[in-house]
Amino acid sequence: MSDIEPVGIAVLGAADIAWRRTVPAVRRCAGLRLVAVASRTPEKARAFADAFDCEAVTGYERLLAREDVAAVYIPLPNALHEEWAEAALRAGKHVLVEKSLTTSAAAATALVRTAETAGLAFMENFAFLGHPQHDRVRELIADGVIGEPQVVSASFGIPRADSGLIRYSRELAGGALRETGCYPVRLAQLHLGDGIGVLGARLRYDPDSGVDVSGSVLLADSAGLTAQCDFGLTHAYRNTYAVWGSEGRIEVDWAFTPPPTTRPVIRLHRADSREERVLPAADQFLGAVTTFAEACADPSGHRRHGTDAVRQATLLESVVRRAGAADPAGPSAVHDARSAHVPA
């Protein structure tokens, strides 16, 4: 990336995840140059801009009209991703959009098609994929350390928090599936093969907010390898996964949100041994934005990101459908909330 001119990137929405993790990583990425931030609230835009030495813009449309912005990072609520990702693509910008991308597979497919037609990079920001610990797990499995993989299990749960947060908003497409459940589902795809489908799903809804607050999903690929995914918003904190094979098991303790200074631990369990391997610390957000910068430099060479996004959206939609069949009284998790009040 050092021989390539950095891509001018702007932030569309002054969200907490942008402030804490993504934008600091952008500022350290050699392939990106932070240009501006847009908010619907001038005070928020100025505070963000002052903190990160970029320009403040009031209004998303004004930001998309800037010629010095070649790429846009969108950390808005889930319900607004489709609208503003499409607007950014139509404006000729590469797009990095926070998970979960959309509330429908059709919308994800349309966005990816628009990006490919325009020759633009398009990527859903699952930052955990930027951490090298997952590559190391896959290498160990490929080396036969645990024999033939049989089952993947993954869990991500967080404690209940302020009910006013976006994750508890039905109108903004919040809920456990798209807040925490999307991580185990995406992780499972690293280890399952082709033809992944949802065999079963269950979502539990909060009667006051109407959003799903916990759930479980069973996935399988065409060869019969399964993945059990559990998640929630009312749990003791946990984010972990394991791959159980014919000769052993690999466990990852801090799968989705390891701090950049943390040295992750991989645990190997076999019949006659127990082993811990401590890996180097890494900033997964820096890894993710670096991958995006590479996609901006060569969109045609990174079309897999679009394919991944469509597959993820398809699986999440299938989860909602399966869970609805299991519990006909459960509210739908798919909503049109473009007219809802959105803090940004």
- Which residues sit opposite 9 in a β-bridge? 34, 71
Q: Are residues 145 and 267 in the same domain?
A: yes
Query: Based on the domain organization, do 148 and 267 belong to the same domain?
Result: yes
Report helix, strand or coil for 267: strand
Q: What is the rounded CA–CA span in Å between residue 333 and residue 270?
A: 41
Quick one: 267 and 163 in the same domain?
A: yes
Strands lying side by side in the sheet with 238-245: 197-205, 212-220, 226-232, 149-157, 238-245, 248-252, 265-270, 273-278
Environment class of 86 (CB within 10 Å of its CB; exposed 0-12, middle 13-18, buried 19+)? middle
Q: Which of 105, 13, 19, 1 is nearest to 285 (CA)?
A: 19
Asked if the structure places residue 259 within a domain, the reply is yes
Q: Tell me whether residue 342 is in a domain.
A: no
Specify the CATH number for the domain of residue 169.
Answer: 3.30.360.10
Is residue 99 annotated as part of the catalytic site, yes or no?
A: yes
Count CB neighbours of 145 within 10 A: 18
**Does residue 108 share a domain with residue 161?**
no
In the block, residue with structure tokens 């500022």: 27
Of the candidates 263, 124, 262, 257, the residue with the CA atom closest to the CA atom of residue 180? 257
Question: Are 167 and 238 in the same domain?
Answer: yes
pLDDT digits (tens, 9 = 90+) for 263-298: 999 999 998 899 999 999 999 999 999 999 999 999
Check whether residue 111 and residue 149 sit in a common domain. no
Residues of the chain short of pLDDT 50, as ranges, are: 1, 328-344
- Cα(205)–Cα(333) distance, rounded to whole angstroms? 10
pTM of the model: 0.92
Count the helix, strand and coil residues of the chain and give each as a percent rounded to the nearest 5: 40, 25, 35
Residue 293 sits in a domain of what CATH number? 3.40.50.720
Q: Quote the pLDDT of residue 216.
A: 98
**What per-residue confidence (pLDDT) applies to 164?**
87
Distance CA 232, CA 157 (A): 5
Q: Is residue 219 part of a domain?
A: yes
CA distances from 7 to 26, 38, 47, 170, 206 (A): 11, 17, 23, 35, 43
Residue 3's pLDDT is 62
Q: What pLDDT is recorded for position 334?
A: 38
Over the stretch 97-111, which tens digit does the pLDDT of each residue have? Answer: 999 999 899 999 999
Residue 335 is assigned to a structural domain of this protein: no
The Cα 39–Cα 85 span in angstroms is 15
Q: Which residue has the tokens 């934005």?
A: 289
Tell me if 113 is assigned to some domain: yes
- How many domains does the chain fold into? 2
In terms of domains, do 188 and 72 share one? no
Are β-strands 197-205 and 212-220 bridged in parallel, bridged antiparallel, or unpaired?
antiparallel
Same structural domain, 241 and 273:
yes
Residues 6+ apart with CB under 8 A from 63: 10, 12, 36, 37, 38, 57, 69, 72
Confidence at residue 325, expressed as pLDDT on a 0 to 100 scale: 63
Residues 136 and 273 in one domain: yes
**The one-letter amino acid at 47:** A
In a domain, 2, yes or no: no
What is the spatial distance between Cα 36 and Cα 68, in angstroms, rounded to a whole number?
9
> Within its chain, how far is the Cα of 227 from the centroid?
18
Q: Which of 30, 111, 37, 52 is nearest to 305 (CA)?
A: 111
For residue 86, the surrounding DSSP H or E stretch is helix 78-90
| Position 337 in a domain | no
Judge if 177 and 321 occupy the same domain.
Answer: yes
Query: In this structure, which amino acid lies at residue 283?
Result: D
* Number of Cβ within a 10 Å radius of residue 269: 14
Amino acid at residue number 136:
R
Residue 166 lies in a domain: yes
Q: Catalytic pick from 33, 44, 99, 305?
A: 99
Can you give the pLDDT at residue 340? 39
Q: Looking at the structure, do residues 193 and 320 belong to the same domain, yes or no?
A: yes
Q: Which range marks the domain in which residue 155 is found?
A: 132-282+315-326
> Do 124 and 31 sit in the same domain of this protein?
yes
